[in-house]
Chains A and B, each alone.
Chain A
Amino acid sequence: MALTYNDAIEKYEPTLGLEVHVELNTHSKMFCGCATVFGAEPNTQTCPVCLGLPGSLPAVNGKAIESTILIGLALNCSIAPFSRFARKNYFYPDMPKNFQTSQFDEPICVNGYLDVEIDTDEGLKAFRVEIERVHMEEDTGKSLHVGGATGRIHGAEYSLLDYNRAGIPLVEIVTKIIPGTGKYAPAVARAYVTELRDILRSLGVSDVKMEQGSLRCDANVSLAEIGSGKLGTRSETKNVNSLRSVERAVSGEMVRQANRLEKGERIVQETRHFLEESGVTRPGRSKEQAEDYRYFPEPDLVPVTPDAEWIEALRATLPEKPSLRRKRLQAEWNVPDKEMTSMVNAELLDTVEETVLLGSDPTKARSWWLGEISRLANEKEVAATSLITPAQVAEVISLIASGDLTDKLARQVVEGVISGEGTPAQVIEKRGLKVVSDDSALMVAIEAAIAAQPDTAERIRGGNIPAAGALIGAVMKATGGQADAAKVRELLLKHLGQS
């Protein structure tokens, strides 16, 4: 009988370690001036430096160093007064130089932490994840394995290499081992990567798109019997490309390892690959043979020695922490917990804030973005923010507030903007959607309705107020729904001597 997740955590205590690689969003590569555009035609962003041609010399991108220091500061790290690049030597065609310029024992940032909160049965629970180091390196090229059934490396006849990505600045953020998370290990892993992603986004140093690989997570998991005080052998799961997958990969590994241990089998120290479709991991390269990268200081580059002045100048530019910002906005906008969570999960917090900063009421801004606009976005399977801008939404909301649009007309305006008919003002103009608020124009319609239904009018004069509904309906119909119903009601009742 295979152990389930609940069985596994009854008996075993997990220990986590997380390595996150983040591609910086600099315009040019780490050591050369090649562009870094995602999805460019193969091998159109390469030069002698990133192709590792003889005689070429690297030059460090200063912006990338600044971004790395910012990341370190945001993660409460110490910034090393002296750090160096090192060559990590290995033979694999994704790195045309046959080494990766990385950092070894002298990383730029060390000893930080990140506090995360997770939702549990016992309420919000805080965990501190300690950061071992934040170091700089360069990304590798992309391989395409040809031949063989699955596009995988095994059974491939040959491989094709695109070096556009080789040399893009990459920052590696490594946690210390994370003990004591128990049954919450998968949730802590996810919360950590989520919070880290939000911090990186707030710093503006990366696109942090997991689906495009600009943020990648490797999860180390080991199990030991509860109370044994030991550390088990770990596996390292790569290829974890979404927040949900981080959680699934950790829980999947916990269950797999618990089942092996239960059968008396040992855990092999190895790299495993996460399979998105099935949520399980499959074995990759075994790490039992100790890696031998023969690191040595990069002789073509000089050390990085940030002084206190530079570090403090960068620290002064740190934005508000995303977790604090969420709490502040929730309080300012008076948003219930559940709605706040949906707004954050829908990644619409920034957008709603932008709309609010343009003068919209927070509740209205939130309800437009999470309601009508998200609904249309879901139908079209695109991001809400790709359909309409915060400025356009703010304009619609302000037209409702001023009485120029009813909610119903506003929905038509939004739909018009989304179908590419122009700005809200243009859609209103083209579709003739303005609320008929001119009293005399409304009075013409009201008198016409009374003339058409004299009996109803008589009943209203006699005090039967609910009968007004029929006449209001007729006026609304005559004005193509563009009148403000409350205004029609007011004018009608006044005209018939009932107010």
Chain B
Amino acid sequence: MTAISRDEVAHLARLARIEMTDSELDHLASEMDVILGAVARVQEVAGQDVPPTSHPLALANVFRDDVVIPSLTPEEALSGAPAKADQRFKVPQILGDAE
């Protein structure tokens, strides 16, 4: 049994807006399958008493004070933008609808 199917990889590629050829999909599907299989072995040693973790450090409640620090200038903020206009980032026509 495979951990991830070719269709699932194609679906993820679509969600991530990554265009992939058929041969790339074939290649990646088998590669990801091997990676997921390796990661799955962790579950063999993690018992019920080990909670899934999302952070390597056993920390909680790390907060900063609500203090304003200087922002970038608009020129700095826009310096890496492929396109800009009116002090804003310019993006190609958006299909679909706003969140």
Contacts and interface: CB of A to CB of B under 8 A. Distances in A.
Interface of A: 26-28, 32-35, 41-48, 51, 53, 59-65, 84, 89-96, 140, 143-145, 153, 156-163, 271, 284-285, 292, 294, 296-299, 301-306
B90 A60 contact: no
B93 A60 contact: no
A94 B98 contact: yes
29 contacts: A28-B66, A32-B69, A33-B69, A34-B68, A42-B86, A42-B88, A43-B87, A47-B69, A48-B72, A51-B72, A53-B80, A59-B63, A60-B62, A63-B66, A91-B16, A92-B94, A94-B99, A158-B93, A159-B90, A159-B93, A160-B85, A284-B97, A292-B11, A292-B15, A297-B55, A299-B55, A302-B55, A303-B55, A304-B60
A28 B86 contact: no
Contacts of B88: 42-43, 144, 160-162
A28 B77 contact: no
B90 A46 contact: no
A80 to B, nearest CB: 12
Contacts of A84: 54
B47 interface: no
Contact of B94 (A44, A153, A284, A297): A153
Interface in B60-99: 60-69, 71-74, 77-78, 80, 85-94, 96-99
B67 A160 contact: no
B90 to A, nearest CB: 6
Nearest to B85: A160
Contacts of A302: 55, 57, 59-62
B41 interface: no
A47 B68 CA distance: 12
Contacts of B59: 302
A306 B72 CA distance: 33
Contacts of B80: 53
A39 B63 CA distance: 27
B68 to A, nearest CB: 5
Interface size class of B (residues with CB under 8 A): 35 or more
Q: Which are the 10 A-B pairs with shortest beta-carbon distances?
A: A62-B63, A297-B54, A33-B69, A63-B66, A160-B88, A285-B97, A161-B89, A305-B60, A59-B64, A43-B74
Contacts of A161: 88-91
A61 B67 CA distance: 9
B91 A159 contact: yes
A69 to B, nearest CB: 12
A61 B87 contact: no
Most chain A Cβ neighbours within 10 Å, of B60, B77, B87: B77
Nearest to B78: A43
A93 B67 contact: no
Most chain B Cβ neighbours within 10 Å, of A48, A53, A156, A159: A159
A133 B66 CA distance: 24
A266 to B, nearest CB: 21
A93 B91 contact: yes
Contacts of A145: 94
A304 B99 contact: no
B71 to A, nearest CB: 5
A92 B60 contact: no
Nearest to A85: B54
B89 A93 contact: yes
Contacts of A32: 69
A59 B91 contact: no
A284 B99 CA distance: 10
Nearest to B64: A59
B64 A158 contact: no
